[in-house]
A and B are shown apart, each in its own frame.
Chain A
Amino acid sequence: MAASRTKARRDEANEPSSEVLRFGVDQPLQLDAGVTLAPFQIAYRTYGTLNAARSNAVLICHALTGDQYVADQNPITGKPGWWDVLIGPGKIIDTNRFFVICPNAIGSCLGSSGPAATNPATGKPYGLDFPVITIRDIVRAQAMVVDALGIDKLFCVIGGSMGGMQVLQWVSSYPERVFCALPMATGTRHSAQNIAFYEAGRQAVMADPDWRAGKYLEAGVRPEKGLAVARMIAHITYLSEAALHRKFGRSLQDRPALTFSFDADFQVESYLRHQGISFVDRFDANSYLYLSRAMDYFDLAADHGGRLADAFKGTKTRFCVVSFTSDWHFPTEESRALVHALNAAGASVSFVEIATDKGHDAFLLDEPELFAAIRGFIASAARARGLEHARP
């Protein structure tokens, strides 16, 4: 089982089960690091049909450890699409009505170019020879996919967390190409606290002897322990104190009393260990380093002389910003700062803060109030875009 998963993971990094676009040396990807990436490839999934006017495309941007399988089964884990509560036939993002595109971010490990993919120059996995990438690089590559699909203007760009950063970068980089934007549980920059948590995670990966200075794939090993610890640290930030307490409290794991050992006595320990182990099964350690770094580097205001509002100057995009009361990874204040900047830029913006104790990950869950807000926002934007009866 573990061996076949390892093989599946390796195959998916180069030959994904999904659609894939390959860009040759004549179409290099310009990176913020000052280098170019060529050739490179982007794996993606699409759902629904592009209408004749090419006006019904919805781009979904995934979060740090997400993938392109937003509304159908992930080939490695066999689990349903990670946002299939929101996206699918008859759902809020109705694939009978919209043409949904979900690309795998570059730097990730599900078929887009990244450290786990084979470096064409050497025939070996890139490892740390892969250039350090930014959110803007990820978005630049996505724009090439959107171009290749023959779409000039996206109806909507949606994403949470790192996906939300990409949404904001899209509007900032390509203001004319986004009709409406739905950034959720995100911010315009990584806070010092977020950088600190991710640094602890990266150090855990790099401290694992099996990391082998990033060349573990060549050595046929993986820094599983380090990556599992990194995931455990991050996962705590995705939940809230209240939710952890509600779910686990101080309950013991399958035992009547404390064992006076370092076993997982508490349910919460067992839960975290499980989160760590199951993550290692599906994700590449170096990809984790690269994508968390991309989030750290994100600072939209800094790209515009320190004035966040200038990132959205003259924007005609309609925004719906969503935050969650118990999210301490991207607290509501981050969204509020974004909303103030959008107001100062004269943008059309809605802002809802959803009351929930489910923390950062609430954006992935079935929250009725969240869904009502998204439904209203999408319906009114679709009317404004003339998509009321736009069934392909």
Chain B
Amino acid sequence: MSINSTSRVDLQVIADLIPVGAKVLDVGCGDGELLSLLERDKKVDGRGVEISQRGVNECVARGLSVIQGDADTDLVFYPDKGFDFALLSQTLQATRNPRRVLEDLLRIGERAIVSFPNFGHWRMRLWLLFRGRMPVTEELPYSWYDTPNIHFCTIRDFVNLCDEIGAKVERAVAIDGSGQKIGLSMPWWAWNFFGEQAVFLLRR
């Protein structure tokens, strides 16, 4: 898991986007927190892929269907449209090729749900502006030289990538530093400034 789990307010936001009984693949499922939540509350038919063997073993011990695998290399083995939803929660920034991973998600799932930390958040900007150093926060506690998070982006960046690969944004939710959803009426720049995390529901 690449993100501190106390900050996982995005999990409930993701769960709210998924209908009861859906078939979901959680890519980068960590210790299975989201999958357990979805199996309990949404009765989903859930599968997971996780890169760390420790995470996988914890998941399987919890009774989840999870395999050890790498989002960058192993998604090619999944058939087209095998799932209703392909989820990527707080993992995009840790992949080597986020664009290809996103394309694979949209191929594997009828819909894809992606959540990621927004590097355009005002606190990140202030870190860079005033300290002149890469931000290290409670949510993203790693130093630049040992972080698993190698591809940070802002909400605007992500929207651009979606445009580029022809993904339609069906829903987007930004969550501020206190875990509150940012009002839908707010403009994109405000989302990009106040959103600490973002959750996107996408379709090809």
Q: A: which residues have CB within 8 A of B? A: 318, 320-321, 339-340, 343-344, 346, 348-355, 369, 372-373, 375-377, 379-380, 383
Among A346, A348, A352, chain B packs the most CB atoms within 10 A around the CB of A352
Please list 30 pairs of residues, one from A and one from B, whose beta carbons are closer than 8 Å in the complex, sorted by A's number.
A318-B65, A320-B60, A321-B67, A343-B77, A343-B78, A343-B79, A344-B77, A346-B82, A348-B65, A349-B47, A350-B56, A350-B59, A350-B64, A350-B66, A351-B56, A351-B66, A352-B56, A352-B68, A369-B57, A372-B57, A372-B61, A373-B57, A373-B60, A373-B61, A376-B62, A376-B63, A376-B64, A380-B62, A380-B63, A383-B63
Say how far A349's CB is from chain B's closest CB, in angstroms. 6
Identify 10 new A-B residue pairs, CB closer than 8 A, beyond the known A344-B78, A377-B60, A380-B63.
A320-B60, A339-B69, A344-B77, A346-B79, A349-B67, A352-B56, A354-B57, A373-B60, A376-B62, A380-B64
| Given A339-B67, A343-B67, A352:B60 Cβ within 8 A | yes
The residues in B between 49 and 75 inclusive whose CB is less than 8 angstroms from any CB of A are 53, 56-57, 59-69, 74
Which of B47, B61, B74, B77 is close to A376, meaning CB atoms less than 8 Å apart? B61
Size of chain B's interface in residues, with CB distance under 8 A? 21
Give Cα distance in the complex from A76 to B85, angstroms. Answer: 55
Chain A residues, Cβ within 8 Å of B59: 350
Which of B61, B62, B74 is close to A340, meaning CB atoms less than 8 Å apart? B74
Give Cα distance in the complex from A253 to B47, angstroms. Answer: 52
Would you call B65 and A349 a contact (CB within 8 A)?
Answer: yes
Q: B: which residues have CB within 8 A of A? A: 45, 47, 53, 56-57, 59-69, 74, 77-79, 82
Would you call B77 and A350 a contact (CB within 8 A)?
Answer: no
- Tally inter-chain residue pairs, CB-CB below 8 A: 64
Chain A residues, Cβ within 8 Å of B82: 346
Q: Which residue of chain A has the shortest Cβ distance to B79 in the bound complex?
A: A344
The secondary structure that dominates the B interface is: mixed
Which of B47, B57, B63, B79 is close to A352, meaning CB atoms less than 8 Å apart? B57
Would you call A355 and B53 a contact (CB within 8 A)?
Answer: yes
Chain A residues, Cβ within 8 Å of B64: 350, 376, 380
Give Cα distance in the complex from A340 to B69, angstroms. Answer: 10
Among A320, A343, A351, A383, chain B packs the most CB atoms within 10 A around the CB of A343
Give Cα distance in the complex from A379 to B62, angstroms. Answer: 9
Say how far A235's CB is from chain B's closest CB, in angstroms. 27
Would you call B61 and A375 a contact (CB within 8 A)?
Answer: yes
Give Cα distance in the complex from A246 to B135, angstroms. Answer: 46
Give Cα distance in the complex from A383 to B64, angstroms. Answer: 12
Would you call B53 and A352 a contact (CB within 8 A)?
Answer: yes
Which of B47, B62, B77, B79 is close to A348, meaning CB atoms less than 8 Å apart? B47
Give Cα distance in the complex from A349 to B66, angstroms. Answer: 7
Give Cα distance in the complex from A376 to B59, angstroms. Answer: 8
Chain B residues, Cβ within 8 Å of A350: 56, 59-60, 64-67
Give Cα distance in the complex from A270 to B3, angstroms. Answer: 52
Which of B61, B63, B67 is close to A351, meaning CB atoms less than 8 Å apart? B67
